[in-house]
Amino acid sequence: MVKFSQALYSKDGESRFIEVKRIPHQNNYDDFVNHLFCPDENCDAKLIYVRTREGGYLKKPQGFEHNEECNYADDSIRVVPETVYIEINGNISDDGISRRNKNMGKKLRDFLNPPEEKKVAKSDKKKTTRSKKDSDDPNSKDVKTGVRIKYDPNSIVSKEELDQNGTKTREPAFISVLLHQISERDSNKNLSTVGLIKNVVLNKEQSSASIQVVFENVKATIYLPQAFFSNSIRGLSKEQLFEYVEMLGKYIRTNPDSLYINTMCQTHKIDIENLALYVYDPDFPSFILASNTNREFRSLSVLASMISTNAI
């Protein structure tokens, strides 16, 4: 696949180049992504932006072709050995949680304080093509077997265990998206997102809690269902978790608008007017200080420790 570092945005007489990493930060994101084109001056092929857990990339949709003179027209696709994945239920590794929260924290900081956009010079060089393997090459038919993990908060299977056995493993994708960018197309998905905590409500009788959040005038409720408090895979008891969430609620009441929650979550059918997100693992949330977004508490237990010692 051709990798684009930038695209041409063109609408209503306005034309400008934009780097791929800046696309998610556009205020009119949903409309903006409908007006992206190939950056080559000899080409007007339409491009589409694909969101991923690592940020996103640009690609040419089917039915649109580059002009013959376009520097991107002749790139061929590298053929790699096929991997057949067996799907099993499993949990997310500690490294996987840390990496996703780190990426989401950076996305928040970049949105609140956009880095200076560097001008990207257009290259006059023809892009290097990658050759395909000969179809008669027996190696082109190599098939590898791996494991694709389907997220299950109650499973004890982890990527760490599978990696130790030499198995090629893929953890489930969690799409990084800011709260105000969530739309109906994110229904029934794994997401990573962030929101400013407004209120915390506990229901000990039902062994659940909820956290009201807001970001860019979009409100949402993050639900912590029974599974959140019953998931003791990493050693936290239900009583400890309730105590930590209760401490968070008291802290927010005393210090409103002081913390962001940065968490992986799941959605059901999206209702934008009543946005609901579900967190089933107590290790998913981290917390970011609103007054200093570089200061992040990697877990609920770390945050509780900081609150109890008056360190924040």
Look at residue 24 in the predicted model and tell me its pLDDT: 84
Task: Assess whether pLDDT exceeds 90 at residue 46.
Answer: no
Task: Tell me what pLDDT residue 140 has.
Answer: 47
- Cα separation, 154 vs 162, in Å, equals 17
Q: What is the pLDDT of residue 104?
A: 93
Residue 210 to residue 278: CA distance in whole angstroms: 9
- The full length of the chain comes to 312
pLDDT score at 81: 53
DSSP state of 284: S
Higher pLDDT, 247 or 2: 247
Contact 86, 253 (CB under 8 A): no
Q: What is the arithmetic mean of pLDDT over 242-247?
A: 96
- In one letter, which amino acid is 224? L
Q: DSSP secondary-structure letter at 255?
A: S
**Beta strand pairing call for 190-203 and 208-215:** antiparallel
Residues 134 and 140: their CA atoms lie apart, in Å, by: 7
pLDDT confidence of residue 282: 93
Domain borders along the chain are: 1-78, 173-308
Higher pLDDT, 294 or 170: 294
Mean pLDDT taken over the chain: 82
pLDDT digits (tens, 9 = 90+) for 272-288: 999 999 999 999 999 99
For residue 295, name the pLDDT band (cuts at 50, 70, 90): very high
Residue 198, pLDDT > 90, answer yes
| Band of pLDDT at residue 231, cut at 50, 70 and 90 | low
pLDDT recorded at residue 130: 38
Neighbours of 226 (CB within 10 A): 12
Of the candidates 251, 229, 233, the residue with the CA atom closest to the CA atom of residue 305: 251
98-143 pLDDT, tens digit per residue, is 999 999 999 999 999 988 765 555 444 334 333 344 444 444 455 6
Confidence of residue 150 (pLDDT cuts 50, 70, 90): confident
Helix boundaries (H) for the chain: 29-32, 94-112, 159-164, 226-230, 238-254, 300-308
Share of the chain above pLDDT 90, in %: 42
pLDDT of residue 129: 38
Superfamily of domain 173-308: Nucleic acid-binding proteins (2.40.50.140)
17 falls in which pLDDT band (50, 70, 90)?
Answer: confident
Please report the pLDDT score of residue 182 as a whole number: 94
Q: What is the pLDDT of residues 60-94, one digit of tens each?
A: 877 667 776 677 765 443 344 556 778 888 888 88
CB 300, CB 282: distance < 8 Å? yes
* Percentage with pLDDT > 70 across the chain: 77
Q: Which residue would you say has higher pLDDT here, 87 or 164?
A: 87
pTM to 2 decimal places:
0.68
